[in-house]
Structure 1
Amino acid sequence: MTPGEQARVAAERCGVTVREVGTIAEFLLVHRLFTEIWRPDPSNPPVTVELMRALSHAGNYVAAAFQGDRVVGASAAFLAAPAGEVLHSHVTGAVRRGVGYALKLHQRAWAVARGLTRITWTYDPLVRRNAYFNLAKLGALPEEYLPEFYGPMADALNAGDESDRVLAVWRLGLPHVAEACSGRPYRPEVPDGAVAGLAARDGRPVRGGTDGPAVLVALPEDVEALRRDDPGTAKAWRHAVRDVLGGLMASGARVTGYEDGGYVVVPARDR
């Protein structure tokens, strides 16, 4: 199937219509959705109505998923360097299962139709469901670790934590990406002899070795619950993942995918 057909099928499966939006009334609906999801400080929304208006008018990507008249998902993205090659997805959120996937496939079809070859976005590397979604469901891969990327964040999901992010790069023409967009999640090869660079023991991070053909970097089951209920353990996970995953990536290691609750990383010497 073409990217457009894959996007249409994904939208039909979850009962929504995904399309670009361009009116103030529509941008207000998107703004309300993002406020519902992130519950930000009023002075620091994920994106303003005015910015969405400017992005859309300048030929960037602002789209929403509609269930009847209700917006149940939305995404805003802008063209990035190198010119003519990259779309950077700034914010995507949804309140119904399957809608985020439909939005990303619509975004991919939009980018491919304009001759773009990749889409990038940042996400919190500690959030396990997002890692699975980005790497397995979509076939994107982290290519850069970004400590404290946004500085302190004043919203209900991120407040009280350090805003480390990884840059996910979605290389739109790769075969495994096309497979993932057909509904077959991508699973990386895990070579024999892979070592646990970071594991979980009684809910806490335990560091191991990195001397192997691949390094497995575990994630907490629910870091958002830890931020609320056990901030000390959440902080321990933040620093452990920063040191192990961030350290490996800084040394040239490559994340090859998501498997069994964590990242599979191939050290630079084995590439």
Structure 2
Amino acid sequence: MAEPIIIKPLTTIEELEQVQELERDVWQMDPVPVHQTLTAVKNGGLVLGAFDGDKLVGFNYGFAGFKDDEVYLCSHMMGIAHAYRRQGIGELLKQKQKEMALQQGYSLIKWTYDPLESLNAYLNLSKLRAIGAEYVENCYGEMNDALNKGLPSDRFQVHWHIASEYVNGETVWIDQLPLRDDHVLVQYQLRSDQLPQLSDHISLEKMTTTASDYDGQAKLDHHSDKQGFWLPIPDNFQTLKKQDHALALDWRLKTRKIITHMLALGYVAVRLLKTDQGVHYYLFVPQHRLAL
């Protein structure tokens, strides 16, 4: 029987040098200097490692953040060795991060991810119950690593309220919301090559009216089946980008427009629903309905 993956904090120079090697393997980029990660660990930050025996196969790096009179842990990087992906190691790292952050006095963790990466979205929203609360256009400028090269580096900033009822309690009403065609924010179709393409017909005015009307209904009836809006994204954005770069850019720009509009209305992304139709769906609900 294989040994279980062990998650533990990393605090020594030697351990943080192992993180650098994993960074190079994951992103083919220059790693974060050890003097930076070591200083972060000594000043409210947290670096966690996932070990298969003595081998480091995953890590998570975060440092102390502060904005608008609010202190939080800024979870900056998480990487998993290629041979160990899709084995739940990312979730193990995040749950350990939550545990240790609570011990250190944090109640909020923030990080960013590409909103078109469905694996990250499913982990962050559906499994961990973080919320997609902010959208940053071209967050890191032009990036040349394999995952990001050639597209604006747009990012969802997620807020993980680790001490909240929303994260730690029941969310049955959210998990039971049905995918309704009349609450899908934009339609898509599968092309002849089976790649999904969004419609060009996006009416923000209609979305504003619909969302505003709907929000009023939601406040009156907490058990209504009209509590969410849905947005499709590709089920595998990296594959789509490799096959048709122009189509990937089209997805980036159209979803950027829709997501920023929904956030401005007071909605946040709370789940990713998986389908076998070439797309998965974000679920947006009014933020005021969440026990944060």
Q: Same fold (TM over 0.5)?
A: yes
CA contact (8 A) 1:120 1:169 kept: yes
In structure 2, C-alpha distance between the alignment counterparts of 1:191 and 1:53, rounded to whole Å = 46
Query: Matched residue of 1:117: which SS?
Result: coil
Alignment-derived partner of residue 167 in structure 1: 157
- Residue 117 of structure 1 is matched in structure 2 by 107
Alpha-carbon deviation of 1:188?
6.0
- The answer to whether 1:86 aligns with 2:72 is yes
CA distance in 1, matches of 2:34, 2:288: 47
CA distance, structure 1, for counterparts of residue 58 and residue 46 of structure 2: 14
Q: CA deviation at 1:195?
A: 1.5
User: Residue by residue, what CA displacement relative to the aligned partner does 1:40-59 show, whole Å, maximum 9, x if unpaired?
Assistant: 2x4xx4x2322112212323
User: Percent same amino acid at aligned positions?
Assistant: 28
- State the alpha-carbon separation in 2 of the partners of residues 239 and 267 from structure 1: 23
- Indicate conservation of the 8 Å contact 1:64/1:74, yes or no: yes
Q: Render the CA deviation track for 1:129-173: whole Å, top value 9, x for unaligned.
A: 111110011010011111111111121111111100011011112
* Aligned-partner SS, 1:92: strand
The corresponding residue for 1:8 is none
84 and 192 in structure 1: CA distance in 2 versus 1, 3 angstrom threshold: closer
Counterpart of 2:48? 63
Asked if 1:264 corresponds to 2:283, the answer is yes
For residue 14 of structure 1, report the CA deviation from its aligned partner: 8.0
Aligned to 1:31: 20
The residue number in structure 2 matching 1:3 is none
Instruction: Report how far residue 200 of structure 1 moved.
Output: 2.8
More moved, 241-250 vs 209-218: 209-218
Q: Provide the C-alpha distance between the structure 1 equivalents of 2:52 and 2:96, rounded to a whole number of angstroms.
A: 16
Structure 1: how far apart are the matches of 2:184 and 2:98?
34
Partner of 1:17: 6
Deviation per residue, 1:213-243 (Å, 9 max, x gap): 3321100121112222210110010011101
Task: Give 1:116 shift.
Answer: 1.2
Question: How far, CA to CA, are the matches of 1:269 and 1:21 in structure 2?
Answer: 37
Name the counterpart of 1:254. Answer: 268
Q: Is the 8 A contact 1:200 1:219 kept in 2?
A: no
CA drift of 1:84 comes to 7.3
Query: Rg larger in 1 or in 2?
Result: 2
Contact 2:111–2:158 (Cα < 8 Å) also in 1: yes
Pair 1:267–1:18, CA change in 2 (3 A):
closer
Deviations, residues 164-202 of structure 1 (Å, cap 9, x unaligned):
00110111123442369xxx9x83634867521123311
Alpha-carbon distance between aligned partners in 2 of 1:259 and 1:74, rounded to the nearest angstrom: 27
1:84–1:116 CA contact under 8 A, matched in 2: no
The equivalent of 1:218 in structure 2 is 232
Q: Which residue in the other structure is 2:116 paired with?
A: 126
| Alpha-carbon distance in 2 for matches of 1:234, 1:170 | 28
Output the CA distance in 2 between the equivalents of 1:201 and 1:245: 20
Judge conservation of contact 2:40–2:64 (CA < 8 Å) in 1.
no
SS in 2 for 1:142: strand
- Paired AA for residue 33 in structure 1: L
Q: Is the 8 A contact 1:85 1:115 kept in 2?
A: no
CA–CA distance in structure 2, aligned partners of residues 262 and 48 of structure 1: 38
| Residue 252 (structure 1) shift | 2.7
Given the superposition, is the C-alpha separation of residues 171 and 59 from structure 1 closer, same or farther in structure 2, using an over 3 Å criterion? Answer: closer
Q: Structure 2-normalised TM-score?
A: 0.77
- Could you tell me which residue of structure 2 aligns to residue 106 of structure 1? 96
Change (3 A) 1:101 1:219: same
